Structure 1
Amino acid sequence: MADSWRFDAIGTRWDIVTDEPIDDLLRREVAGKIEVFDETWSRFRADSLVSGLTASAASATGSVAAVPSPPDAAAMLEVYRELSDATGGAVNPLVGDSLARRGYDAGYSFVDRGAQAAPGDWPALLTWDDELRLRAGATIDVGALGKGRLVDLVLGILAPRVAGTVLVDASGDLAVRGGPTRVGLEHPYDASRAIGVATVTDAALCASAVNRRAWGEGLHHVLDARTGMPVRRVAATWVLADDAMYADAAATALFFDGGPELAARWGVDWVRMTTDGRVEWAPDTEMELFV
């Protein structure tokens, strides 16, 4: 591959690697797409659409706060419904306040103020069609699949207009047009080691681990929405799928009971490592494992 473009956006490092150079006009289009997504869905920005919706819902006693539905709302929130059903409510798009209380807040304070469960009846509080409506002062967080969705959107801009192989990598959530591209499955407790290798061809690979975005005494970004407690049994997950949003979503689901069953229904390939060092995988995995 001849051209590499590295930048920071949405709080993470991006690497876009292509056979052919990406011109300035296309780079501006990619940057604009990322900015629009961030200003819509980021709970870390006071000026974002979801932050405004939360503020409006908190002040609208007994009524509903509503905004025109963003283009990605239905695609993402319908998948959240599947995630929630499959995991018994452990994955929930109204987990934002739970994360903030544990210290993963808009100011990145990393000060733990105790566990708080997310609203279990979230489908009654958050609805979407032509409008995105919130019925309580809860905070939307699309971290279970949002980065994967954005990777797909960026690849969708580049793939039709850049010849050859295109790889879009947002710090471990990546999608490839063309290939094959071999990617190591980083050991969650030793970044110098890999537990295996995935070969990605016209597909996406997403990973999640408790050592990423971790702080304090055993705190990290993967919470059980039912309790507000960090997950303890699974340390890392990897998923191969046709697109990055489903790979990202399944990688989140695999931290919980019901995750493997959902991955099977979706037809995605997966591997996960538990906190005691055991490795589990899909029965027909095509990933090469060093076990």
Structure 2
Amino acid sequence: MDTWRFDAIGTVWEIETSAPLGERERTAVSAVIDAFDAEWSRFRAGSLVSQIAGGGECPAPPDAVAMLELYREVSEATAGAVNPLAGGSLVALGYDPGYSLRAGVARQAPEDWTATLRWSDAALSLDAPAVIDVGAIGKGRLVDLVLAALSHVGGRIVVDAGGDLAVRGGGIRVGLEHPYDTSRAIGVVEVRDRALCASATTRRAWGDGLHHVIDARTGLPVRRWAATWALAPDAMLADATTTALFFDGGPAFAAARGLDWVRMSTDGRVEASTGFPGELFLLPGRPGGR
């Protein structure tokens, strides 16, 4: 197997293929990533979402409906805790385009976000100033797009974007990294022709208890759960599920879709879906330490 490693959208990517990818395939992958970033990155001054941050309308990216309809489902499942306009909350806590990491006053995201953010196949618009952040599902969506760009490549393919990964044409065993000790795993699972996404509050963390997983209702980082993992047919849905699992409605959201998952609390306790297909080294409900 050959592995192509590179940096993009603030994380390390690894694409594993049976034979080295040619220049045409690598160029295609880079183009897919750059196009997505140019549409959805709130850190990129010229992106579509940055252009309408003060209010306004732009042509809809090709995946706007798919992504934002899934956001609507996750938002409803978590009683509003997940919200694509929580970008303003992250900016207020210092996770801004300049990475100032200087926290101000917590800012609640617009509660009725679907009245402010509108989308269709043709247009994406904001009726008032707001910061769109699709971090709850965006990286998973991009993993799917990269995998699709390599649809003509034979053999097993693994696309891994900093822990959000999708596998086609075979299977791999993946360790579930302990959020407080990266040299340990709390379990292992086989990922075969599907996706596994992970999220942890110890990643993209700064200051005193500040991290990127925000409760849109309060504008503050979540405190109860430290890490989540979810298996799904595609990475966008797996990514959405890992975000939902930081909140009370997460397990029901996953169960309604028949998805398997694991989550670990900040005190080291583990919960998992019934019949989770992997092996857990920390028994559900028992503390695993920090």
Correspondence list, 1:191-210, <5 A: 191-210=182-201
Q: Does the Cα contact within 8 Å between 1:20 and 1:162 map onto a contact in 2?
A: no
Could you tell me how far 1:288 is from its partner in structure 2? 1.0
Distance 1:240 1:198 in 2: 9
Correspondence list, 1:70-109, <5 A: 70-109=61-100
Task: Determine whether 1:289 maps to 2:280.
Answer: yes
What is the TM-score when the length of structure 1 is the normalising length?
A: 0.95
Could you tell me how far 1:26 is from its partner in structure 2? 1.1
Distance 2:4 2:20 in 1: 9
Distance 1:248 1:114 in 2: 28
State the one-letter code of the partner of 2:147: L
Aligned residues: 281
Partner of 2:130: 138
Q: Deviations over 1:244-288 (max 9, x none)?
A: 000000000000010000000111110000011100000121121
Partner of 2:147: 155
From 210, 221, 225, the counterpart of 2:212: 221
Correspondence list, 1:207-286, <5 A: 207-286=198-277
Could you tell me how far 1:21 is from its partner in structure 2? 1.6
Distance 2:138 2:188 in 1: 24
Partner of 2:9: 10
- In the alignment, structure 1 segments of 5+ residues that lack a partner are 58-64
Could you tell me how far 1:20 is from its partner in structure 2? 1.6
State the one-letter code of the partner of 1:157: A
Question: The residue matched to 2:16 in structure 1 has which SS?
Answer: strand
Could you tell me how far 1:179 is from its partner in structure 2? 2.2
From 164, 173, 187, the counterpart of 1:182: 173
Task: Determine whether 1:127 maps to 2:126.
Answer: no
Distance 1:85 1:44 in 2: 27
State the one-letter code of the partner of 2:248: D
Partner of 2:23: 24
Distance 1:235 1:25 in 2: 40
Q: Deviations over 1:107-139 (max 9, x none)?
A: 111110121000001001111112111101001
Task: Determine whether 1:40 maps to 2:39.
Answer: yes
* Runs of 4+ more than 6 Å apart: none
State the one-letter code of the partner of 1:204: A
Q: Does the Cα contact within 8 Å between 1:168 and 1:176 map onto a contact in 2?
A: yes
Correspondence list, 1:163-178, <5 A: 163-178=154-169
State the one-letter code of the partner of 2:23: D
Distance 1:290 1:265 in 2: 26
Question: The residue matched to 1:192 in structure 2 has which SS?
Answer: strand
Q: Deviations over 1:189-218 (max 9, x none)?
A: 000000000100000000000100000000
Distance 2:263 2:53 in 1: 34
Question: The residue matched to 2:52 in structure 1 has which SS?
Answer: helix
Q: Does the Cα contact within 8 Å between 1:18 and 1:165 map onto a contact in 2?
A: yes
State the one-letter code of the partner of 1:153: L
- In the alignment, structure 2 segments of 5+ residues that lack a partner are 283-290
Q: Does the Cα contact within 8 Å between 1:148 and 1:206 map onto a contact in 2?
A: yes
State the one-letter code of the partner of 1:26: E
Q: Does the Cα contact within 8 Å between 1:5 and 1:17 map onto a contact in 2?
A: yes
Task: Determine whether 1:54 maps to 2:53.
Answer: yes
Partner of 1:61: none
What is the TM-score when the length of structure 2 is the normalising length?
A: 0.96
* Identical residues among aligned pairs (%): 64
Question: The residue matched to 2:57 in structure 1 has which SS?
Answer: strand
